[in-house]
A and B are shown apart, each in its own frame.
Chain A
Amino acid sequence: MNAQFKKGVLELCVLVLIYKKDQYGYELAQNISTSIDLAEGSLYPLLRRLTKEEYCTTYLAESKEGPPRKYYQLTEKGKSYMDFLVNEWKMFSHNVDVLIKEALGDE
């Protein structure tokens, strides 16, 4: 799949997942890679950008085993950006569906 396209989808998935609950990087990577084949190397750069643009904030929390983990939390700004992207996605995928149906429906 087109790399640029995948990047945009990855952004949407990350926002939706941390909207559901605060998660740390590894957790996010696992949750996303169950549905999408993802180069996990692109996840951390993305998380940094989202933090920089104030779509999410981070905090450290102790874990039962091992070192503290950095959790990502969606901000209000991030929430409205997520709503925007979800809407875009719905329209986009709907239009593609219609297009495919029209093109392949006659066969």
Chain B
Amino acid sequence: MNKDQYLKELKQRLAPLSKQDRDEILFDYQEHFDVGLQDGKSEIDIINELGTPHEAADNIMAEMSVPKQEERKSSSDHVRMVFLAIILIMVNLIFVVGPAMAIIVAYLSLYSVVLTLIFSPMLIFYYTVIHGLGNAMASFFAMGIGISLGVLIGIGLFYVGKWIYQVILMYINFNVKLVRGY
């Protein structure tokens, strides 16, 4: 194989590439041959150093198909993202924030119910102490019911709170993903 055959075969193997890419690559190899020959090497020496056209083409194809490390977003993508973000903020302000606040306030007010259930029996206890033990049994019974109900509802509220928190996080994530577009 000589230089011309080498370049011809390389050109054939690079057929899948665009003409511009192919021409540039062949220019590089042409230059390599020219300089090598001037340097006193034979065509065979240079070909041996370069590896077969097959190997060279494989190497080139492999490097060409390497995906870019980061896909750059085009400016139209950015316009789309800003636009979408504005719409989402409007929609959220009008339709989502109100009900969400109402739910959160209702949730918090349930805690005051819990506090009342737990602490109001203390008042009954205080009352019975002041006014004699006439209906002590009834008072203790009421106390028991109040405190246990309060504790149970409190535990329930704790889990409901966790759930609400997760739903809010999911909703925020959903919005962010929508804007980013993936």
List chain A positions with a Cβ less than 8 A from chain B: 24-27, 29, 33, 39-42, 44-49, 53, 65-67, 69-70
Contact = CB atoms under 8 A, between A and B. Distances in A.
Interface stretch (B23-31, B137-145, B151-159): B23-31
Nearest to A63: B35
Contacts of B68: 53
Contacts of B44: none
Interface residues of B, number: 26
Q: Helix, strand, loop or mixed for chain B's interface?
A: helix
Given A40-B51, A66-B38, A45 B64 contact: yes
Contact of B31 (A33, A42, A48, A70): A70
Contacts of A45: 56, 59-60, 62-64
A70 B69 CA distance: 26
Contact of B51 (A24, A33, A39): A39
A29 B59 contact: no
B31 A25 contact: yes
Interface in B42-67: 49-52, 55-56, 59-60, 62-64, 66
Contacts of B50: 39-41
B19 interface: no
A53 B34 CA distance: 27
B62 to A, nearest CB: 7
